[in-house]
Structure 1
């Protein structure tokens, strides 16, 4: 069940930059280490419904229901474009002069949670990924799925926190330049918009 192959595959999957990573990194740069932990917590919590859907078999329903998939997909697309617009519009977000008001902890968690829960491809991914590591003929396959899910969540949280801490170090040492702040804002805006466009163009 939990073997070296599973852990290596899981690490590769978690390390690949996606919506959650980009949000955690941007939060670490803007708000600091503590905020990046809350972003990581929200992103990790956002995969719980997808894991639950996989375990309960709801992912199979979504996989066969074009309407359910499309509704959730376009809700995610709309939210990603909203985040891109908000990032582009907030010109003080990457300021390091201390005048920017820190984001509320709960709002960071909720925003991160929504970014992941509104991505239907996560449910399809877990449906294809987790069952591969359940031992054939296992007497308690549900327990194995729950264990695999717990390990996935723990590694996701740990890696995202690491991303956030690295981003905060980057902020302290590099983001003293207003031009760098401006290009970071443009870069994260483009990243969120690009992820939204990618999700919009995706199929099951």
Structure 2
């Protein structure tokens, strides 16, 4: 097991870079924050679990070389990028079109945990930023003399754990301020804010120009 982890100076660089990526707001983080603000702590944590599983899917993709394909193929990158962008816009439109009587307190019943989990999984899995990160970054820490897939899975899983911890922090912090959005006229504003954030995030994802910009 220890052979699958690089020496400490190199490993510390990996941990630091992984932490920076995890705390940088991206599709996964913004999805978690929005669900936590609009639907509360449990919904936020359900989205954390979905995002973590999606990140793990990207780890497995890197282990079999799929992420490397995305890094060198403009077509493959574009397919994943625009699929993710369209899905985010779809989520935003759904929220904007929800009935005005569906206030923030009622939304968990309208959006059960399995759906929140599923949406978080898809948002993370179709996030090219994470996919290309694994393709471009992990090779710097791999030993050619040891199984590449096993090293990818080991280091990638460590990143998923780091991201799950920081994402949980985002969910708890956002849910703590959520009650502010549950009074009076702010109910409608909160729903509009959440829908607008998803649509804006989808447009932002679609405007990414390529692998290099996606991981910056």
User: TM-score surpassing 0.5?
Assistant: yes
Q: Distance in 1 between matches of 2:178 and 2:112?
A: 20
Q: Deviations over 1:121-158 (max 9, x none)?
A: 32212101222223x45534433222111111111111
Q: Which moved more, 1:177-186 or 1:119-128?
A: 177-186
User: Residue in 2 aligned with 1:152?
Assistant: 159
User: Residue in 1 aligned with 2:114?
Assistant: 106
User: Residue in 2 aligned with 1:5?
Assistant: 13
Residues 30, 93 of structure 1: 8 Å contact kept:
no
Distance 1:79 1:39, change over 3 A: same
**Helix, strand or coil at the partner of 2:109:** coil
Q: Distance in 2 between matches of 1:5 and 1:95?
A: 41
Q: Give aligned pairs, total.
A: 201
**Helix, strand or coil at the partner of 2:79:** helix
- What is the aligned counterpart of 2:146 among 133, 139, 142? 139
What root-mean-square deviation, in Å, do the aligned CA atoms of Structure 1 and Structure 2 show? Answer: 2.3
Gaps of at least 5 residues in structure 1 are: none
Distance 1:8 1:178, change over 3 A: farther
Q: What are the within-5 Å matches in structure 2 for residues 117-136 of structure 1?
A: 117-134=125-142, 136=143
Q: Which moved more, 1:81-90 or 1:39-48?
A: 81-90
Shift of 1:71: 2.3
User: Residue in 2 aligned with 1:40?
Assistant: 48
- What is the aligned counterpart of 1:83 among 88, 91, 94? 91
**Helix, strand or coil at the partner of 2:25:** coil
- What is the aligned counterpart of 1:21 among 26, 29, 51? 29
Shift of 1:195: 1.8
Distance 1:34 1:181, change over 3 A: same
Q: Deviations over 1:55-77 (max 9, x none)?
A: 21122223333332222222212
Report whether the alignment pairs 1:95 with 2:95: no
User: Residue in 2 aligned with 1:56?
Assistant: 64
Q: Distance in 2 between matches of 1:63 and 1:139?
A: 23
Gaps of at least 5 residues in structure 2 are: 1-5, 211-216
Shift of 1:15: 0.6
Q: Distance in 2 between matches of 1:144 and 1:99?
A: 41
Q: What are the within-5 Å matches in structure 2 for residues 182-193 of structure 1?
A: 182-193=188-199
Could you tell me the TM-score, scaled by structure 2's length? Answer: 0.81
